[in-house]
Amino acid sequence: MDHSQVPVLHALGKFRRRGDVVYGPPGHKQGRGVDPRVLAVLGDGLFRSDVLMMNGLDDRRLSHGVLLKAEELMADAVRAQHAFFSTCGSSLSVKTAMLAVAGPSEKLLVSRNTHKSVVAALIISGVEPVWVHPRFDAERHLAHPPEPDDVRRALNDHPDAKGMLLITPTDWGTCADIAGVARVVHDHDVPLIVDEAWGAHLPFHDRLPTWGMDAEADLVVTSVHKMGGAIEQSSVFHLQGDRVSPTLLRQREDLLGTTSSSALVYASLDGWRRQMVEEGESLLASAIQRAHRIRKEIADLPGLRLLGREVTEAGGAADLDPLRITVDVSELAISGMQAAEWMRTHCRVNLGASDTLRVNGQITHADDDATERLLIDAFQRLTEAAATMERRPDVALPPPNALELEQAVLPRQAFFADAEQVPAQATVGRVAAEMVSPYPPGVPVIAPGEVINQQVIDYLRSGARAGMLIPDAADPSMETIRVMAR
């Protein structure tokens, strides 16, 4: 296919040059009605490009197939049979994928190191999760994706499961053996969904971890806004094989997606695909080299422990994305949350994720010498300033088995049940009626329907006192928790 073509981007440019006036949404009419004070910040180009596909970039019947052509080019670029653009991020795309594989009361194997959007999909759909617990790295207090043998055992115990949802890479950059999991799942003739939200760049360089489509996954979801060059909320789900119908997938997306998709998202996806096909290998090669230099300098700083290739040794992860820079700061006697806050305040460096032990930043094709130096210098300054920082309360990190909570009822049943807000210490043994997800990265420690234990309560309450953000809980302070009424 001719990847110099950018159907959506071309149509948008043509629309702007023609000077069409739209007598339908959006009401700002290509920026004509926008407050000048807003334009001073956002610019008029943004609003001139904020156009709907129907009766905007395309006609009433979408007869020019602008979006369809762009999706076909994307599929070809990443070696998929089909690609579907989403304007609501992978939070929507993964819900679509799950609903295309399993329905109400049907079982789906789900990696427990999952994002809260997956639990939301379980609540919406009524699907019964069969949790496949991640491999816990006790040395680093870090969860890695489950291995093929873990999936095999789960399928043997639940042969009626409709498929598997695997999350890889993790928020910290560790990766699963997708090909191995795919073989196990396909031996049972059910599909493998891969939530590869952090992996949109993986198809475009062979020194990066294996891309899900290349590893024989059936359905792969990516957040192009995370590691790619599209704007926020840009996502694509990719399909191959015959285990999931593309028509069914499109219908499930229609249930959840907006009917007012902005061409801004589609155009940025379209342009990013062209850039990656034409220049991706060289751009990513430079990014990998840059990340290697950053890693080398950070590794030499006192009190910092870099997550490196050693994590792929026996019992660890199958692979590691070198562009994800994960640094344990615990030897500095501060938390990752403190480190992230200090670097933002004092260095103008905003990191992607932080928890009680570590921080994470990403390097992409967009970085240059200046941003490379800024990040290294920020870590250097952090090591020098750590001794003067406030000593926050310790967080009671639970043993890994304490995080494997019993699923007493379906997430949907618990979420919509009669519930009560109970003092946290009185919830031990009770069934949760809400998600409790420290954010970022947004992996629920408690999912609706799970039985709460003392170790998890101690972890969440001590974490909240130490600065952990828990935005989805009814009481983010963790003084109380929402549980099913008795």
Q: How far is CA 109 from CA 118, 120, 166, 433, in A?
A: 12, 15, 8, 21
Q: How far is CA 406 from CA 68, 403, 478, in A?
A: 44, 9, 20
pLDDT of residue 62: 85
The CATH class, in words, for 400-484 is alpha beta
Which residue carries 């000593």 as its tokens?
391
> d(Cα 285, Cα 263) in Å, to the nearest integer?
30
> d(Cα 298, Cα 374) in Å, to the nearest integer?
12
Please give the CATH number for the structural domain made up of 282-388: 3.90.1150.150
Q: What is the SS3 assignment for 41?
A: helix
pLDDT of residue 447: 98
Fold of 67-260: Aspartate Aminotransferase; domain 2 (3.40.640)
Spell out the domain ranges in the chain: 67-260, 282-388, 400-484
Q: How many helices (H) and strands (E) does the chain have?
A: 15, 17
The residue type found at 249 is: L
Q: How far is CA 184 from CA 152, 214, 312, 407, in A?
A: 6, 16, 21, 24
Which residue carries 């998929």 as its tokens?
80
What is the helix (H) or strand (E) element at residue 372, kind and residue range?
Answer: helix 369-385
The residue type found at 220 is: V
Instruction: Note whether 282-388 and 400-484 share their fold.
Output: no
> d(Cα 203, Cα 207) in Å, to the nearest integer?
10
pLDDT of residue 172: 96
Q: Give average pLDDT by consecutive 10-residue segment, the chain, 486 residues.
A: 97 92 92 97 95 87 92 99 94 95 98 95 97 92 95 98 98 98 99 98 98 99 97 97 97 92 94 99 99 98 97 88 98 97 98 96 98 99 97 91 96 98 98 95 95 98 95 96 97
Query: Which is it for the CA torsion 192, 434, 133, 172, positive or negative?
Result: positive
pLDDT of residue 314: 67
Q: What is the SS3 assignment for 385?
A: helix
Strands 128-132 and 107-111 turn out to be parallel
Question: Mind listing the pLDDT tens digit for each residue in 356-383?
Answer: 999 999 999 999 999 999 999 999 999 9
**Strands in 303-432 per DSSP E:** 305-306, 319-320, 324-328, 353-354, 358-362, 419-423
pLDDT of residue 285: 99
pLDDT of residue 57: 86
What is the helix (H) or strand (E) element at residue 223, kind and residue range?
Answer: strand 219-223
